[in-house]
Structure formats: structure tokens, C-alpha cells
Structure 1
Amino acid sequence: MNFRQIEAFRAVIISGTASRAAELMGVTQPAVSRLIGELEAAIGFPLFDRVKGRLVPTPEAEIFYRDVETSFRGLDRLRSTAARIRDFGSGHIRVASLAAAGSTVVPRAVRKFKESFPSAIVTLSIMTSASVRNHVVDGEFDLGLAADEVDLSGVEHQVFGSFPALCALPSGHPLSSKKVIHPRDFDGIDYVALSPEDRARLQFDKLCEDAGAKPNLVIETPFAITACALALEGVGAGIVNPLAVDGFAERGLILRPFEPAVYFKSYLLFRPDMQKARLVRAFVSALMEVRNMRHQVAVI
């Protein structure tokens, strides 16, 4: 059994006659008949009954055709993938991002990227930075955006940015009257904290310790966007990644600078050799453009 025999069988099913199948395949009618005969001999059962000059599929042929058609749909997908690779590089880019950038910077980069590569497919997954790193290392994603606490060994990387933290406060919070928040201001304040391994949190905790301030830890979350939502609901105050705050000020969240500065540093992570892929380079360029054009948060 070979592909040409299967192709002849499918052509006869689709067209209904050997002569039309021959036209579809660009061969003679005897060649189609020969291919069908060879296929029947190979699989051990008849595929067609000859009824008044027509080839009528047997019940076995109809069952066999289901898998044949599935296989041809797979071939059609392969042809489509090959066309995307020819025209756009890989044709499909898989991106994993930490949550802070996953609802702001990355979607904007996707929009810019799609302006240049409208037919390219983007798979975007939001996850913890540790998961981003592991999935990129395992080859499941082409590009990752992760915070600086991840293990960078064994993965190609470059700095994406370093962003000074903002203090997120509920509306009417006692600290909202201040123009700038300092570590000592957190003494006795209900505190919405990021994960213990988050390096920005570690910086913040050290600054509070040095200032003799003891915040009242009420909840921990790995996601800055969740910390913003918790602060908005009045759960407490916290320091957050400025990439995650878009839209929260309009909903009533108070944002203030925090000094001394605490930085959220992030990296772009690549599969081996993925930096050379055209689509990856284009997506990184879009990310950098969005990062550079990012509007400063209005602090009021």
C-alpha cells in the first residue's frame, strides 16, 4: 500500500468515477483502475462494486475512507504550515509571560506583531515566572518573559527591563495623602505581599526591616495584578509592578511612588537558537517598542 494508491482511492470516492478521478490526478483512467486494483490486493478486501459502469464503494470502503480523509486533512494542515514557514518564518510563535506583563505589554506587542505578520499564529500563555522558564527550557515555548528570580542557567536570555515599583493603596487609605511612600510608612499597615521568592518583595522587606517598620502581612500572591485587585478592594497596601497597573487608577486604586526605589526586573528567555528565528526577532522588536512607548502611570 502506498500513497499514490490511497490518492487514487480518495479521488474515486470524491468524484464518483474512475475517469473523473483520473482528471483530478492528471493520469489516465487505466492508471487509476490499476492503482485501485493494487490497493485492494494490498489490503485484502474489495473497495468498489462495479454497477452499470460505476464504482460503488463497499461498506468496508466507506469505513476505510474515514481514516483516509483524516489523513488527508492532516496533509492539508502540513501544507498550510509549510506555506506559513515559507512566507513568515516558523508561521507559529509560542509565547509565555509572567502575569504582570501578560495583560498589558504582551497583548499590545501581539497587536503590533500582527500588523506585520497577519497570517502568523500566536499562542500566548500566562503563568508564573518559574513555569515560564521551565516551559521555555523544555522547548514548549519559543519565547518567555519572566521575572528575575528565575534560574537563568541553561537558557538563552536578555534583559527586558527594570521598572520601579509603585505603592498600591485603597481609596481613602491613610497613606493616600502622601506624595511619596517610604518604608517607615508601612509600620503597622495591612500589607498585601508578593510571593516570598519575589526579589522586589525581598528588597521591600529589607528596606522595612532597616527602617524598623513592621507591616501587618494579611495576604500573599504571586501576581502583581492580583495585588492591585486586592488593594482596590481595601484588603491592604502593597508594592506592585507598574506593568500590571493599567486601568486600576481609573477604577479607584491610588498609586504612589515608593522610595528608596524597589525594582521589578524582567528577562526575555529563548529556546536554543530561537533568537535567530524571524518571527521571534519580530516579536521581541514589538515587545521592545511597546516597552519604550509605555505610558507613564499617572500618580495622583
Structure 2
Amino acid sequence: MDQPSFSINPKGLECFRSIMATGSATAAARHLGLTQPGVSRLLGVLESYLGFELFYREKGRLIPTEEALTLHPEVELALDSLERVTRLAQGLKDSDMGALRIVAPPSVAEGMLSDLVSRFLVAYPSVQISLDSHSVDTATKMVALRAVDCGFLKLPVDYPGLSAHSLFVANTVCALGGDHPLAQKDKISAQDLQEEPLILMGKGRHSRVQIEKAFHSAGVKMRVQVETHTIAGACAFARRETGIALVNGVLARQYAGGSLVFRSFVPEIAQEYAFVTSAHAPMTRITRTFFGFCKEYFTGESGGGQGLHVV
């Protein structure tokens, strides 16, 4: 006999997400406006459907199982997608397409993008912006799965279901203390960095591989002092003279000043950025408007400056 078929109840996923965030069914119930027994029942139905437990109790708290920890990021993406469908449907009903959700890695969201979005809101004050800052991998998934309208990512992007529109190319620069002897040079080569402690980012990514190739071609062994995941962190270490950071010249320039200076790195290593959307659906009206604004921003003086040229 066939087993009865039913789909996962989104309410059950919401209960799961809230328990992951709060650590208890009581707090999750309070957050969701439900009763504690109601949350427990929804969680039980979800566990029955999945065929495994999601939590075990320890000292009055619900502790996630390994399966729950694995499932959690995908549940977040699924619920984000459902929320976006709800917002989009409401927008279509009200003929109001003024909501735009954007995602970008922290280095982009906290620097260049904050200025771009602020200028966009001056031109389009009725638009409601949601700007999420996530790792490159999570941001890529969110765009592909249409949990957001658009994103800003460094090329190449090797992920199915994406449409990438090149915006600008930034050069790689050396960030170092102003009192460092190499700060007297206009350009710093791989040979100049022989034996210098380095601060590097993006291990395994395309730009990092290019940097490693430049040192290898110059016959220089890299002395990596610090590995970090953000430009802000790399520049903070460079400012404290922990080492010399090799970073994106456009995204790093917000940290210039004081004891921190930037010098061009040679050979030139370009880092290309793109406006990325899902390939499975056309852009919404407001997304197209925002994309056009982005192109104008980088073509004009607003996006110009050291280390950048428009694609």
C-alpha cells in the first residue's frame, strides 16, 4: 500500500528555525505567537516527516542534532524564498514594486555598496531596501535560489542558475603602514615583498590564485603571516604593521588614512565584479531600475577612483 503523501508545513520549518535561534520551544512559541504545545506538535510532525530527531534535551534546553545543524542553512534559504514570494505577490496585488532585496559579501556591503544604495534611495525614496551581508558561498546560493532579487559578486562565479552582468574591474593594491620603507615606492612588486610578512584573503579563490602565481613567476616565496576573510580585517592588521596586505583597491579605499596607505601591486592583478541575478526568471521592474542605476554609478565619478575601471 502506498504511503500517504504530504509536504513539509512551512510553520514547522519556522518552528525549527526559531528553536535553533532561541534554544527552547517556549521562547520559540513566544516569538511566533503560538503556544508551547503547538510548537512542540509542529516540530514533532516535522521530525516524523523527516524520519529523524532534530533536537535532544539537555539541562532544560533543546540542543540541535548533527542532522539539524546540516539542515539549518537550507531551511533559512527556503523560508527566505517563501517570504520573497509573499512580498512579490503582495506587490503585484498592490501594483507596488518598491521592495528590493540585495545580498553581497561583507567587504562589498559595508563599503562601496552602502554609498551606492544611499544614492539610489535619494533618487527613489519610496523603495524599501533589504541588504544582506553573507559569505560568498551563501550569497551565491541566495541569488541562484531567488531568496534575493540581486547580488554583487566577484567573477568568475562557478554556480548554475546565475546571470552575471559585469560592472567594474578593480586592481589589487598593497596596504601598509605609512612608515614602512616600501611606502616610499609608487608601485610594489613581488620581488619587493621578499621576506615581508603578508596578510592575505580568499584562500583557494581566483584572485588569491593569481597572487600566488605572481609570486611563483617572480621566484619569490610567500611569507604568509595572517589569513583573514574580510578586507576590514586585512587593513586593520596592515595598519598595526603586522604585515603588508594585498587587497582589492576599490573596496579597501574606505580604510585609507592615518597610518595606512595603499600602493599599486605589480604585476597588475585585476578583480572583476558583477551584478548577479537568477537565470531562471527575468528581473523585476525595480531590479532592472537598480541595475541601470548601478551602471551609471560606476560609469560616472561616483564609482570612479583609484584602482577601478568600468567594464
TM-score norm. by structure 2 comes to 0.64
Please give the secondary structure, in 1, of the residue aligned with 2:198: strand
Please, which of 213, 224, 227 is the counterpart of residue 220 of structure 1? 227
Match of 1:119 among 123, 126, 147: 126
AA paired with 1:119? S
Give, as a single letter, the amino acid of the residue that structure 2 aligns with 1:287.
C
Q: What are the equivalent positions in structure 2 for 1:204-283 lying under 5 Å apart? A: 204-272=211-279, 275-283=282-290
Q: Point out where structure 1 has 5 or more consecutive residues left out of the alignment.
A: 1-65, 68-77
Q: Does 1:290 find its partner at 2:305?
A: no
CA distance in 2, matches of 1:254, 1:85: 52
Q: State the SS of the aligned residue for 1:258.
A: strand
Rounded Cα–Cα distance in structure 2 between residues aligned with 1:88 and 1:211: 57
Contact 1:128 1:222 in 2 (8 A): no
Classify 1:169/1:147 alpha carbon distance in 2 versus 1 (closer, same or farther; 3 Å): same
Q: Distance in 2 between matches of 1:280 and 1:79?
A: 14
Write the distance in 1 (CA, Å) between the matches of 2:177 and 2:164.
37
Rounded to whole Å, the distance in 1 between the matches of 2:279 and 2:161 is 9
Query: In the superposition, relative to structure 1, how do residues 88 and 256 fare at CA in structure 2: closer, same or farther (>3 Å)?
Result: farther
Q: How do 1:1-300 and structure 2 match up within 5 A?
A: 82=90, 86=94, 88-89=96-97, 91-272=98-279, 275-292=282-299, 293=301, 294-297=303-306
Q: Deviations over 1:105-129 (max 9, x none)?
A: 2112212221232122111011222
Contact 1:84/1:120 (8 A) holds in 2: no
* Structural RMSD (CA): 2.6
In structure 2, what residue type is equivalent to 1:116?
A: A
Offset at 1:243?
Answer: 2.3
2:111 alignment partner AA: T
The structure with the greater share of residues assigned to strand is 2
SS at match of 2:157: coil
CA contact (8 A) 2:105 2:133 kept: yes
Cα pair 1:186 1:214 within 8 Å, conserved:
no
> Cα gap change, 1:155/1:80 in structure 2, threshold over 3 Å: closer, same or farther?
closer
Q: 1:122 to 1:142 in 2, by over 3 A?
A: same
Please give the secondary structure, in 1, of the residue aligned with 2:168: strand
- Alpha-carbon contact 1:97-1:129 (below 8 Å) kept: yes
Secondary structure of the equivalent of 2:305?
A: coil
Letter in 2 for 1:169: L
Does the 8 Å contact 1:155/1:269 carry over to 2? Answer: yes
Asked if the contact 2:250–2:306 (Cα under 8 Å) also holds between the matched residues in 1, the reply is no
Q: Contact conserved, 2:250 with 2:305, CA < 8 A, in 1?
A: no
C-alpha distance 80-152 of structure 1, shift in aligned 2 (>3 A): closer
What is the CA-CA distance between 1:83 and the residue it aligns to?
6.3
Larger Rg: 1
Distance in 2, matches of 1:80 and 1:118, equals 19
Aligned sequence identity (%): 21
Distance 1:185 1:257, change over 3 A: same
CA distance in 2, matches of 1:202, 1:228: 20
- Structure 1 pair 85–113 and aligned structure 2 pair: CA distance change class (3 A): farther
Q: Secondary structure at the match of 1:245?
A: helix
Gaps of at least 5 residues in structure 2 are 1-32, 35-85
The answer (yes or no) to whether the contact 1:109–1:283 under 8 Å persists in 2 is: no
Separation in 2, partners of 1:131, 1:80: 22
Q: Deviations over 1:54-80 (max 9, x none)?
A: xxxxxxxxxxxx99xxxxxxxxxx999
Amino acid at match of 1:257: S
